[in-house]
Amino acid sequence: SVSEAQQALLSTGLFDRVEVRPKGSGIEVAVVENAIINRVAFEGNSKLSSEDLEKAVDSKKGNPFHPTILSRDVERLKEAYKMAGRTAQISGRAVPVGDRRVDAVFTIQEGDKTGVKSITFVGNKAYSSSRLRGLMSTTEMNFLSFFKSSDIYDKDRLSKDLKDIERFYMSRGYVDFRVVSTDVTFDPVQKGYVIVITLSEGEPYSFGASS
């Protein structure tokens, strides 16, 4: 159908506007092409390199420019900063450079470090929360946060910490031990991550020579 043809052309990302209309015994298609991205540029970034930021966006040199993709890329960049433990105010714009080409420019205002504000354990009875936190390479923010990076939330590092805690329990006879859940949330009031780890310790087993 005419409407399907119009949507098919728009979905290619090559056109800003598509009009499909009957003309005589056939149809006429009028299109306005999207501009081509001349380059992708980042302004104001120092904590994350432009090379790393470029990997996070879908806007690429030589691709058609589309405002929807630009808006989506702004959110991708904010997420990249969040994963790096920082806040950032980011905006994107297209700068015409002639010959239907534009520069996709992202302006970044980097904010403060947003690390792990608290690590809480639920369900632990045999060992204190402070003992379990001591087994982790992920740490909470404190007065030394300016000098360290272990308090930045890292999904892979936290996963390794949970395995270390599991090995700790297993080596002490808690063969039924398991991590029930790990809840990681960003608290906008505290401007940092809150981690809640729920455990099921089970009963300890002792092993000895049979009589």
Most confident listed range (18-22, 86-90, 128-132) = 128-132
Q: Please give the residue that has the higher pLDDT: either 23 or 138.
A: 138
Q: Tell which residue, 188, 120, 119, 112, has the closest CA to residue 145.
A: 112
Q: How far apart are CA 153 and CA 100, in angstroms?
A: 42
For the cut 60, the answer to whether the pLDDT of residue 60 exceeds it is yes
Q: How far apart are CA 181 and CA 19, in angstroms?
A: 52
pLDDT at 208: 61
pLDDT at 16: 76
Give the tokens for residue 51: 């090379």
Task: Write 66-73 long-range contacts (CB < 8 A, 24+).
Answer: 66/13, 66/16, 66/34, 67/94, 69/13, 70/94, 70/104, 73/104, 73/106
By CB neighbour count within 10 A (0-12 exposed, 13-18 middle, 19+ buried), where does 147 fall? exposed
pLDDT in tens, 197-206: 999 999 998 7
pTM of the predicted model as reported, rounded to 2 decimal places: 0.61
Give the pLDDT mean for 46-71.
Answer: 93
Give the tokens for residue 66: 């589309």
pLDDT at 211: 45
Confidence of residue 144 (pLDDT cuts 50, 70, 90): low
Tokens 């379990």 appear where? 132
Give the pLDDT mean for 87-105.
Answer: 93
Q: How far apart are CA 38 and CA 100, in angstroms?
A: 9
Contact 102, 179 (CB under 8 A): no
Least confident range from 92-106, 145-159, 160-174, 177-191: namely: 145-159
Q: Please give the residue that has the higher pLDDT: either 141 or 159.
A: 159
Q: How far apart are CA 133 and CA 21, in angstroms?
A: 67
Contact 116, 139 (CB under 8 A): yes
pLDDT at 196: 97
